Amino acid sequence: MAESKDIARNKKARFNYEIVEDLEAGIVLTGTEVKSLRGGKGNLTEAYATFRGDELFLTNARIEPYEFGNFANHEPDRSRKLLLHKKQLLRLKGKTAQKGWVIVPLKMYFHHGKVKVLLGVGKGKKLHDKRATIKDRESKRDMERELKSSYR
């Protein structure tokens, strides 16, 4: 079994977007960023991935400055390059060229000592889709509650 430790999750991503595909990407970080992430100081709530030329960058992901860092500490909100194979980048670029498709980070985690980002490719949900998701979740919760009380 692979060793992995979660750093940050984007809980709203699956609610706001209909995720069709997941893929794992590496990320280019500085030393103080990795030390800060080991302390669990990452945040993905407003983050998204964009293309600059043929390269994919993670934007608005916040990694707090390392508390024991010196003058060489990193900038918390800088864009960070994501590492993927060329075929994956070309396929993603083709998908996001279509209207409404986005690349959203779902979680950031350590995998065998390296920081990885789980990216989700999907479309934004409309308001009525979000309402349907809430309705389904509440009905499922009510059914489980009824089943639990019937066994008592």
Query: Any idea where the domains of the chain sit in the sequence?
Result: 4-124
Contact 5, 106 (CB under 8 A): no
Question: What's the CA gap between 144 and 52, in Å, rounded?
Answer: 47
pTM confidence score: 0.79
According to CATH, the topology of domain 4-124 is: Small Protein B; Chain: A; (2.40.280)
The upper half-sphere exposure of residue 29, i.e. CA atoms within 13 Å in the direction of its Cβ, equals 27
CB 22 within 8 A of CB 131: no
Q: Per-residue pLDDT tens, the chain, 152 aa: give them.
A: 456 778 888 888 888 888 888 999 999 988 888 888 888 888 888 888 999 988 999 999 888 888 877 777 878 888 999 999 999 999 999 888 888 889 999 999 999 889 999 999 988 877 777 788 888 888 889 888 888 887 76
Task: Select from 47, 124, 53, 122 the least CA-distant residue to 89.
Answer: 53
**Residues 6+ positions from 61 with CB-CB distance below 8 Å:** 42, 43, 44, 47, 77, 80, 105, 108
Return the structure tokens found at 143. 């059914």
CA 83 – CA 111 distance, rounded (Å): 14
CA 15 to chain CA mean position, Å: 13
Question: What single-letter DSSP state applies at residue 91?
Answer: H
- How many CB atoms are located within 10 Å of the residue 124 CB? 13
52 — phi, psi (to 5°)? -125, 105
